[in-house]
Amino acid sequence: MNSTVSAPPPSELRRGVPPSWADIDTVLLDMDGTLLDRHFDDYFWEHHIPGIFATRHGLAPEEARRQLLATYRTVQNTLQWADLDYWSERLGINLCEEKAAIAHRVAVHPGVVEALRLLSSQGKALHLVTNAHPEALRIKMARSGLAPCFISLLTSLEVGFAKEQPQFWHKLGDHIAHHRSRTLFVDDSERVLQEAARYGIGHLLHISAPSSVAAATPSGRFPSVSGFAALLADGELLPPHSP
């Protein structure tokens, strides 16, 4: 499958003209922070794994956390960032097992289920596009029950590049049929949204409250809402733009 070859005109969202849902056929959705509470992953990488690392290496918890956060940053914005196999080998910890051990912490953001149902009822083609490792995706879909809402679940490892890399977007059409000018992409990362904009995705929306335990940080570059609950009113979907 291939996306349209010609570049679309500038996005209505980026021109400041809000679209209606009638302008959108395909909806690409990030998982962590967008659909699911990113507190799960923040806890996993910043507390759970450092705790295990500290015990195994005789370190104070804060020192283990400091070392690991610095190590994580060495591959930020690359395919290795969320690759559980890569980190399992590098840290000597089975991260797939550790993800499964705390799967009860996975939580769906408010409004997500209702929004997905409404979008499906309107005939929108829903696709999940995530940097998550396939095993992390499996664990989270099993816990959240969201998988049936989507036509496809696409991971960066399948594409061969992270969403922060332009190559991901230029290979997207090999996996998901779409017209760029009639596609909405929703993510909590401005860096990822910027790459989608450069590729020519027509409609972009930023999620400003990816974690339930952190304050919302609205985007200064893209239309931004706190979450899907902000797009729901009286059982209907509001247009996908900043209120």
Element (H, E) at 88: helix 84-91
- H helix runs in 145-203, sequence order: 156-159, 166-171, 190-199
3-state secondary structure 120-145: HHCCCEEEEEECCCHHHHHHHHHHHC
What is the phi-psi region of residue 123: left when phi exceeds 0, alpha when psi lies from -120 to 50, beta otherwise? left
Contact in structure between 199 and 164 (CB atoms under 8 Å)? no
42 in active site: no
Q: Which two tokens stand for residue 231?
A: 């797009």
Q: 37 by DSSP, 3-state: which? A: coil
Exposure string for 184-223, b = 16+ CB within 10 A, e = fewer: bbbbbbbebbebbbebbbbbbbbbbbbbeeeeebebeebb
Q: Which of 23, 25, 42, 85 is catalytic?
A: 23
| Mutual angle of helices 61-73 and 49-57, in 10-degree steps | 120
Catalytic residues: 23
